Each structure stands twice: as C-alpha cells, then as structure tokens.
C-alpha cells in the first residue's frame, strides 16, 4: 500500500515472536502478576520487557502529567480495578514515556473486563485529542467496543443540553447492511454513511444551513418588506407537482427515469417517477417540500400571523440544521463558544415568536433588544463556521470526516481505506481481539503512515483465527511468507 510505514509492524512481529517462542517468558510474567491478584479479576499488562514501568504508572514522569491526570479521572469514574488501572495508565502514558515503548500487549483471560478497559483507554485518548484507530477482526467486536465507548462519551459530556455534541470527533465506518447499525442505539450518530447523508443535505445551497441562516437574517432585518413580497406572490392554487418541480430542477430527470425503467422492466415492476425521485434525488424532495410550505401559506394571514409563522418556520429549520452541525462536525469546526451562540440564538428566536402573540405592533424595547442580539449572533455564526468549499459530494464529505476525526472505528481489513495522502496521521492503533487476527490481516492497520504507538489486546487461549477453506489457507500462508520476506529481506 502506498505510503505504508513498516516500523511499528516490525516491532509488533518481534514482540509476537518473543511471546510465542519463549513461552517461559510469558508464563513467568503471568505467574508474577497472578500472585498479586485473584485469577477472576486479573488483567495482564505485558510490556516488551515483561515489566510495568512503576515510575510511569505513578505519574512521577512530569512530561506526561496531563495524560496521567486525564486517565486517572476516567479510571476513578468507572471503578477500574488495579490491574485494569495499570493497563490504561501504562498505555496512555506511552505517548511521552521516557522508555519509549512503541508496542504494548494487554492480555487478560475471559471475564477480566477487557472491553471495559479498552473503552476506558479509548476515552482517555479521545479526551487527550490523540488521533487513534480502534479496530478488531470482526464487525461484532468493533461494534461492542464502539457501543461501550459511545456510552462513556455521552455520560461524560460537558454539555448535557446538547448530548450529541462532540460525536463529530468519532467515526465508525463499514458495511451498513452487515453491521445493522439500527440495532445499536446511539451509533447512528457516529456511523459514517448516516453522517455523510445528513451533512450533504446540511451543505446544500438550496435547503442547507447557509440558505436558512441568511434567509433568517434577511427576514429579521426587513420583516415588513417580506410580508409585502409574500402578499404579492402567494398563489395557493398554482402549486407544481413533484414531477414538474423535479424536471425544472434536474436536467434530463425524465431521461434518467426512462433508462432506469428499461433496466429493471424484465426483472420487476419499476418504481413510479415520484418513488424514483425519493430514492435517487432526496435533496430535490426536501427542496420541493420547502417550496410547498411557502406556497401553502394562507393568503389571508395578517402581518402578525405571517411574521409569527416565518419565525416558527425558520426556527425549526435552523434548530434541525444546527443539531446536524454540532452532532456531525468535529469540535475543531464547532468549538464550545460557537455551540453556545447557536443555543442562545435559538432561544432568542423562540422569544421573538412568543412576543408576536401579544402584539407585534406594540414592540417593547426588550423585544427590539432581543431582535438586535439575535441578528448579531446569527451574523457571528455565519462568519465563525468556516468549512472547505468542496464539500458537495458524498466522497468529499466522507474524506473530510475521516481526516478530521479524533477516533475512528472499523475492522482491521477495512482500515485500508485510511491510506490517503491527505489523511491526518494516526498516532495510536488499538487492536481488540488481536489474537484472532491473521498475521497478513494485521499488517493493514499496523502500516498506517505516521503511526507511533500500537496496543494489542486479547487472549491467545481463546478461539484463534480460523480458515475454513484449505485453498484459502494456502493463499494466506503464501501472503504471510511474502510479507515477512519483504520486511526482513
């Protein structure tokens, strides 16, 4: 793979070889730690030299003081036992440890809380803004860790009024049909496919964030002018159908539908034109709904009714779009002060809407102050949320999310998608159920460009990687031999 870095891989293979060949070394370490703890609660942290660094674990090395403090806070909050605590602390402080450990093996028998420990470790790295790849051999293993981490992030949120804020720093990607994301509560907020769809609508120039923000600002500045324009243009009787609307907006929409019908006619009944539009051009359907909302306003509304309706309409649209932004964008693009401005602006819009019910023609100074403050905040938001100009396709948004995420979840084999020139380098890779990985499969995440630390978690006494096909087994063996030859030639 282009740009692959084999430094970490060589060290991992060296550690794995030592563990497998010199079994007395492993069981010596195992017995030493086992004497300190009961077997049912022990969690083994095996370093390259078989010992834990007590200076690092005690936090005496001031160079990683913040990492130690953050990890200790998380450990205390989640009641980790001593061996789990040692595993998290020694892994997090690898970043600045003077011993410069690049690889760590965390080994624990069944029932020792490996998933809980891995989730606490990932939460620590997440809080430290360390770009980390978390992977495992199977979708189920990845989802198990992702669900646990999602719960920890949600419980530790600094913004309880916006519980999804910060999830834009986390990305889970993979095959949606195989993962069945809908079965895992909360993961839809971090799953890449869902995120791309939501952001694509949010960035649309016709129905997106910028459009409704600018429309709201214009309306607040000149509500009377908007009402006059409305009275002159509204025509309830002349509302276009979705088909007519789509043909005006999409060039060759009817040709595309005709081609579709020719392709599927032999196998099944084709969709109707409207069904085709809903599936292939969802943004046009959203745009059409907005068009109908405008057209179906009652022509007999008073100015008070019109302004109240407009404020309510813009408020609902902005609330939904703001939620999309602070849920799916990285916090580097939506910092906490921007989030607070969003919430304050929404409260002011609601306040203005309520004041209209009393009597818009008798505005008080307080009402004018609210409108002025709301306008000021909306103008600030328009300037403070700066995004790349090329986010107009699913691929561009997908790469943007992966590049700016702090924590990425996927299977080990799927991590090949992260080999992109523009990708911000990962500093940590955490591989759960590492003993079940085939050697050739493990080389994919371990060769990511810029990788500095690797943490492998598992228990080789549990079910190992299994190859059902003899032919496939031979192929895997050949590929593994070739990798070793390339690395050590």
Mean pLDDT is highest, among 223-232, 275-284, 321-330, for 321-330
Give the pLDDT of residue 276.
79
Q: What value does the mean pLDDT take over residues 345-351?
A: 88
Task: Read off the pLDDT band of 62 (50, 70, 90).
Answer: very low
Q: How far apart are CA 304 and CA 360, in angstroms?
A: 6
Give the pLDDT of residue 396.
92
What percentage of the chain carries pLDDT values higher than 90?
A: 26
Residue predicted with more confidence, 444 or 461: 444
Q: How far apart are CA 463 and CA 412, in angstroms?
A: 17
Query: pTM of the predicted model, to two decimals?
Result: 0.74
**Residue tagged 């020792």 (tokens):** 112
DSSP output for 24-63: HHHHHHHHHHHTTS-TTT--EEE-TTSS--HHHHHT--GG
Residue predicted with more confidence, 269 or 390: 390
Percentage helix, strand, coil for the chain under 3-state DSSP, each rounded to 5: 65, 5, 30
Task: Read off the pLDDT band of 53 (50, 70, 90).
Answer: low
Residue predicted with more confidence, 152 or 279: 152
Residue predicted with more confidence, 242 or 23: 242
Give the pLDDT of residue 358.
58
- The pLDDT tens digits for 427-447 are 999 999 888 888 788 888 988
Residue predicted with more confidence, 206 or 128: 128
- Strands (DSSP E) contained in 70-184 are 103-107, 132-136, 170-172
Output DSSP code: residue 166. Answer: T
Output DSSP code: residue 271. Answer: P
Give the pLDDT of residue 392.
83
Output DSSP code: residue 360. Answer: G
C-alpha distances in Å from residue 143, one per residue of 12, 171, 178 = 25, 12, 11
Task: Read off the pLDDT band of 259 (50, 70, 90).
Answer: confident
- The pLDDT tens digits for 359-374 are 544 444 445 788 888 9
Q: What value does the mean pLDDT take over residues 74-92?
A: 85
Give the pLDDT of residue 71.
83
- Per the prediction, the chain carries an average pLDDT of 77
Residue predicted with more confidence, 96 or 201: 201
Whether pLDDT at 119 is above 70 = yes
């Amino acid at each position: 793979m282009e740009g692959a870095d084999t430094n970490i891989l060589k060290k991992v293979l060296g550690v794995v070889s030592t563990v497998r060949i010199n079994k007395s070394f492993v069981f010596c370490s195992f017995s030493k730690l086992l004497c300190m703890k009961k077997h049912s609660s022990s969690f083994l942290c095996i370093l390259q030299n078989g010992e834990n660094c007590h200076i690092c674990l005690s936090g005496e090395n001031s160079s990683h003081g913040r990492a130690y403090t953050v990890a200790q806070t998380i450990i205390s909050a989640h009641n980790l036992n001593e061996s789990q605590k040692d595993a998290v602390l020694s892994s997090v402080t690898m970043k600045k440890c003077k011993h410069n450990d690049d690889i760590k093996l965390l080994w624990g028998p069944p029932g020792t809380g490996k998933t809980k420990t891995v989730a606490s470790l990932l939460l620590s790295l997440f809080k430290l803004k360390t770009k980390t790849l978390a992977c495992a051999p199977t979708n189920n293993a990845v989802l198990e860790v992702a669900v646990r981490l999602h719960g920890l992030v949600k419980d530790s949120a600094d913004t309880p009024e916006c519980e999804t804020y910060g999830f834009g720093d986390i990305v889970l990607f993979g095959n949606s049909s195989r993962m069945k994301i809908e079965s895992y509560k909360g993961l839809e907020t971090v799953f890449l496919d869902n995120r791309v769809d939501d952001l694509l609508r949010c960035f649309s120039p016709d129905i997106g964030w910028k459009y409704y923000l600018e429309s709201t600002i214009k309306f607040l500045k000149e509500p009377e002018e908007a009402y006059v324009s409305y009275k002159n243009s509204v025509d309830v009787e002349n509302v276009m159908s979705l088909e007519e609307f789509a043909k005006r907006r999409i060039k060759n929409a009817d040709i595309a539908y005709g081609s579709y019908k020719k392709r599927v006619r032999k196998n099944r009944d084709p969709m109707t034109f409207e069904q085709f539009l809903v599936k292939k051009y969802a943004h046009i359907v959203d745009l059409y709904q907005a068009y109908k909302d405008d057209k179906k306003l009652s022509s007999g509304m008073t100015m008070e009714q019109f302004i109240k309706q407009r404020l309510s309409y813009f408020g609902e649209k902005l609330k939904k779009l703001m939620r999309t932004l602070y849920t799916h964008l990285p916090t580097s693009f939506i910092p906490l002060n921007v989030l607070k401005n969003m919430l304050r602006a929404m409260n002011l819009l609601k306040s203005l809407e309520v004041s209209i019910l009393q009597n818009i023609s008798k505005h008080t100074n307080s009402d004018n102050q609210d409108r002025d403050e709301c306008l000021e905040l909306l103008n600030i938001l328009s300037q403070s949320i700066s995004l790349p100009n090329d986010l107009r396709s699913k691929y561009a948004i997908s790469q943007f999310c992966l590049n700016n995420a702090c924590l990425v979840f996927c299977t080990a084999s799927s991590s090949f998608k992260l080999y992109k020139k523009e990708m911000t380098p990962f500093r940590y890779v955490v591989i759960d159920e590492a003993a079940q990985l085939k050697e050739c499969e493990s080389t994919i995440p371990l060769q990511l460009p810029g990788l500095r630390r690797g943490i492998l978690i598992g228990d080789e006494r549990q079910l190992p990687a299994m190859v059902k096909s003899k032919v496939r087994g031979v192929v895997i063996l050949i590929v593994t031999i070739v990798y070793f030859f390339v690395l050590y030639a």
